Amino acid sequence: MDRTVFVASGMPYAGKSTILNRVLEAPYAKGATLVRMDDIRKKLYGDRGDTHVTKSEHLYKNEKVRNAILEALVLGAPMVATEAVMLTEKGHQKPFLDMVARADAYVKAIEAEARVRDELPEPATPSSVKPKVVLLYAATEVIVDRANRSMEERRKSNASIFDLTGIRGALEQFEFPLLYQPLLIDTSDESELGLGKCLVEIDSFILETLEQSEDVFKQRKAEFVRSWEELKKIVIG
- What does the pLDDT average to over 215-224? 96
Cα 116 to chain centroid distance, Å, stands at 36
SS3 60: helix
- What does the pLDDT average to over 200-216? 92
The residues pairing with 114 across neighbouring beta strands, listed in sequence order, are: none
pLDDT at residue number 161: 46
The residues pairing with 80 across neighbouring beta strands, listed in sequence order, are: 5, 33
Q: What is the pTM of this model?
A: 0.90
Which strand (E) or helix (H) includes residue 164? Answer: none
pLDDT at residue number 165: 67
Task: Give the Å distances, CA to CA, from 174 to 63, 89, 99, 228.
Answer: 18, 9, 20, 9
CB 187 within 8 A of CB 138: yes
Q: Which of 33, 94, 97, 44 is nearest to 68 (CA)?
A: 33
Task: Give the Å distances, CA to CA, from 35 to 47, 77, 88, 226.
Answer: 19, 12, 20, 30
**3 state SS for 62-97:** HHHHHHHHHHHHHCCCCEEEEECCCCCHHHHHHHHH
235 pLDDT tier (thresholds 50, 70, 90): confident
Q: Fold for 3-235, please state it.
A: Rossmann fold (3.40.50)
SS3 3: strand
Domain boundaries, the chain: 3-235
First and final CA of the chain: distance in angstroms? 50
CB 76 within 8 A of CB 33: no
Tell me the pLDDT tens digit for each residue of 4-59: 999 999 988 999 999 999 999 999 999 999 999 989 999 999 988 777 788 899 88
- What does the pLDDT average to over 178-196? 96
- What does the pLDDT average to over 83-94? 94
CB 189 within 8 A of CB 195: yes
b vs e for 208-229, b when ≥16 Cβ sit within 10 Å of the residue's Cβ? eeeeeeeeeeeebbebbeebbe
Tell me the pLDDT tens digit for each residue of 154-174: 555 554 444 566 678 788 889
SS3 183: strand
- What phi and psi, each to the nearest 5 degrees, are found at residue 184? -85, 130
